[in-house]
Amino acid sequence: SKMTVKAVKMPCTSANVYTKVPDGGWGWTVAFAFFVVEALTYGIIKSFGVFFNDLMESFDETNSRISWIISICVFVQTFTAPLSTVLSNRFGHRLVVMAGGLLVSAGMVIASFARSVVDMYITIGVVSGLGYCLSFLPTVTILSQYFDKRRSLVTAVASTGECFAVFSFAPAITALKEQIGWRYSMLCVGVLQLGITVCGSLLRPIVIREQEEVKAQPPEESTETKYMLENEQTCTSIESIDSGVDITTSPSNVPGKTKAEPKSEEPKQHGQNPVDNNNTPPEPKTKLLDFSVMRDYSFICYAFFGLFATLGFFAPSLYIIPLSRSLGIGKDHSAYILSAMAIAEVFGRIFAGWVLNKKPIRKIYIELICVVLLSVALVAFPFASGFWGLMICSVYFGFMLGTVAGTHIPLLAEDDVVGIERMSSAAGVYVFIQSLAGLAGPPLAGVLVDTTKNYSSAFYSCAAGMVLGAMFLALVRPCKTGLCHHHQQQQQQQQQVVEESTAGPPPELPDDFIDMDIGKAEHSGKGSDSV
């Protein structure tokens, strides 16, 4: 069937209605919007370090107290993920992302007038952090709904906006600070983030409705004639007059041939689709937050994977420069190492999307291989020596990080985890669980570094978390089909037994019930013959 698109009115917006997932169309516009949202959210967060020295000097605070600005921001962003899901299901993705863009911009603009680091905690940490959550999660969710076969590739490529933003924003903001100062530079960044609101306006809702095929019915007169001829030849028509039970071969009792009342024939006469009848039962209401995903063993394992894997995402970006400086590498060369890691991450995201787009392929296993290789990269850092050793490890880590970071949330839409129908609720719960590791991970690594006086301990701790995450990821597929399948079958069988026991035995009919009707029919037949 040919794909059709039409617009239907919805509150404050219009939805694209498709007969199947378009894998393109307006989805390309949504993909571009996601690219820009990535750049203006995670790109700004990763580039915020250019303000650290200015904030330390202006507020006379330590590096650790200034770093809590981003820590609070990231924690609020991930911790409020369920709220983002509820609001998206209630008001739609478009309005939520537009509101998030306003919060992000307002928090950054007000922060440019802050007089203490506590003001920064509230403006950037809480206000902008909530805005980041309302902007990012609904965008990636609706993008996954517009694509099916190309979902992995499109999402991976669009997510590179974060990497390109790090390249462009960091030097641009640094040059801007030298001209107008850090406060006006931060004000300009806040105004620029209003672009999130513009991108949110492009997120049209999508509705998938299967096209129903209406089979042409043969004329009813020819059907009646057919059965009349058959009855004259076989004389097998037996009709019950009193009991209300018909045992006959006439078309009135053949399934699908029941005579309809005049009201039900109106749609056929006017060529209308019976689905559009006013008597159609209303569609079930969408749950604001579907907690049934917490009963899915495969999702639980995947959530634990995200919890432990998050511990390994931050270490190199935070500690690669201190580690390189401890090995006697200069500041400029250390910055080159970090830039090479970001470039490799771009290629890793694109490569992962290209591989996962191949058919047939079990995507969860490809993700598992990438996580295992990412664990190897974390273990390799402490053994690196010199500039080129760290450069090789950084490029390798950046590439593997891109393969995991750009695909772990879209993989929730796969049937091996929860599927596209429950992705919105699953993404909110999943990111919420990740927030616990995001908040506890950096302090834990800092405690290990302070205790051991060695930056290698931070990489070892992150590698241990990544290995645990790989173990839980390996259990996702078995929990979906193997280990827990037998247990679910037993539960279904027990439920059927309970339902059958509560339903009770069917009503018994008298033995002579049909015989009486047959006798009446024969008697009436003889009377007609005598006449």
Instruction: Assess whether 206 and 294 both reside in one domain.
Output: no
Give the pLDDT confidence score for residue 187 in this predicted structure.
94
Q: Is residue 305 part of a domain?
A: yes
pLDDT confidence tier of residue 157, bands split at 50, 70 and 90? confident
Write out the residue range of the structural domain in which residue 185 sits: 16-210
148 and 293 in a single domain? The answer is no
Q: Identify whether residues 179 and 299 lie together within a single domain.
A: no
Q: 161 lies in a domain?
A: yes
* Cα–Cα distances in angstroms (integers) from residue 347 to residues 340, 399, 489, in the given order: 11, 6, 44
Highest mean predicted confidence (pLDDT) among 179-183, 290-294, 348-352, 454-458: 179-183
What pLDDT is recorded for position 363?
A: 81
Task: Please indicate, yes or no, whether residues 73 and 205 belong to a single structural domain of this protein.
Answer: yes
What is d(CA 258, CA 277) in angstroms, rounded to the nearest whole number?
A: 19
Q: Are residues 300 and 179 in the same domain?
A: no
Asked if residue 58 and residue 148 are part of one domain, the reply reads: yes
What average pLDDT does the segment 47-57 reach? Answer: 82
Q: What is the structure's pLDDT at 245?
A: 38
240, 521 Cβ separation under 8 angstroms: yes
Task: Tell whether the model's pLDDT for residue 188 goes beyond 90.
Answer: yes
E strand or H helix that includes residue 5: strand 5-10
Cα–Cα distance, 111 to 377 (Å, whole number): 37
Dihedral angle, C-alpha 77, 402, 405, 92, nearest 10 °: 70
Ranking 144-153, 257-266, 377-386, 449-458 by mean pLDDT, the lowest is 257-266
* 217 within some domain: no
Instruction: Please list, in sequence order, all residues whose beta carbon lies within 8 angstroms of the beta carbon of residue 123, skipping any fewer than 6 positions away.
Output: 107, 108, 110, 111, 114
DSSP category for residue 509 = -
**Domain contains 220:** no
Query: Rounded to a whole number, what is the distance in angstroms from the first to the last CA of the chain?
Result: 59
Query: Which ranges of 48-201 does DSSP label H, i.e. alpha helix?
Result: 52-59, 63-79, 81-91, 93-111, 117-120, 129-146, 151-158, 161-180, 182-192, 195-200
With a cut of 80, say whether residue 104 has pLDDT above it: yes
The least confident of 9-23, 134-148, 323-337 is: 9-23
In a domain, 371, yes or no: yes
For residue 130, tell me if it sits in a domain: yes
Query: Given pLDDT bands bounded at 50, 70 and 90, which one contains residue 50?
Result: confident
Taking alpha carbons only, the member of 169, 170, 441 closest to residue 316 is 441
For residue 464, is it within any domain?
A: yes
| Average pLDDT over every residue of 43-61 | 83
Domain count for the chain: 2
Q: In this predicted structure, which of 9-18, 118-127, 287-296, 426-435 has the lowest mean pLDDT?
A: 9-18
Of 22-26, 197-201, 406-410, where does the model show the most confidence? 197-201
pLDDT tens-digit map of 328-385: 887 677 777 877 888 888 888 888 878 877 766 778 888 899 999 999 999 998 888 8
Q: Which one is predicted more confidently, 106 or 427?
A: 106
CB atoms under 10 Å from CB of 300, counted, come to 17
Q: Which of 163, 186, 210 is the last residue of a domain?
A: 210
Question: How many angstroms separate the Cα of 367 from the Cα of each of 156, 248, 257?
Answer: 13, 61, 53
Decide if 250 is inside a domain.
no
Peptide bond into 284 cis (omega under 30): no
Structure tokens at 437: 């590791």
Shared domain check, 442 and 297: yes
Most confident of 7-16, 32-41, 438-447, 505-514: 32-41
Kindly tell me if the per-residue pLDDT of 282 is higher than 60.
no
Domain check: are 205 and 347 in the same one?
Answer: no
Average confidence (pLDDT) over 451-476: 87
Segment among 16-20, 71-75, 87-91 with least mean pLDDT: 16-20
Cα–Cα distance between 332 and 448 in angstroms, integer? 27
pLDDT above 90 as % of the chain: 16
Do 43 and 138 reside in the same domain of the chain? yes
Around Cβ 235, how many Cβ atoms within 10 Å? 9
CA–centroid distance for 454 within its chain: 39
Residue 121 has pLDDT above 70, yes or no: yes
175, 210, 245 - which closes a domain? 210
pLDDT at 233 over 60: no
Does this model's pTM top 0.85? My answer is no
- Beta carbons of 127 and 462 less than 8 angstroms apart: no
**DSSP state, residue 247:** B
What integer best gives the mean pLDDT of the chain?
75
Burial (CB count within 10 angstroms: exposed 0-12, middle 13-18, buried 19+), residue 40: buried
Which of 180, 210, 240 is a domain's end point? Answer: 210
pLDDT at 519 over 60: no
Question: To which residue do tokens 């206000």 refer?
Answer: 127
d(CA 298, CA 293): 9
Single out the residue of 181, 215, 143 nearest to residue 412, CA to CA.
143
pLDDT at 2: 41
The pLDDT of 207-228, averaged and rounded, is 53
Query: Residue 9 pairs with which residues in a beta bridge?
Result: 14
pLDDT at residue 467 in the model:
92
CATH of the domain at 100: 1.20.1250.20
Q: Give the 3-state secondary structure of residue 304.
A: helix
Q: In this structure, are residues 390 and 336 in contact, taking their beta carbons and an 8 Å threshold?
A: no
DSSP labels for 338-404? HHHHHHHHHHHHHHHHHHHTSSS--HHHHHHHHHHHHHHHHHHGGG--HHHHHHHHHHHHHHHHHHH
**301 and 435 together in one domain:** yes
More confident residue, 288 or 169: 169
Strand order across the 5-10 sheet: 5-10, 13-18, 206-208
Q: What are the structure tokens assigned to 515, written together?
A: 């015989």
Same domain membership, residue 439 and residue 302: yes
Task: Fill in the amino acid letter for 313.
Answer: F
Query: pLDDT band at 191, cuts 50/70/90?
Result: very high
Q: Are residues 183 and 323 both part of a single domain? A: no
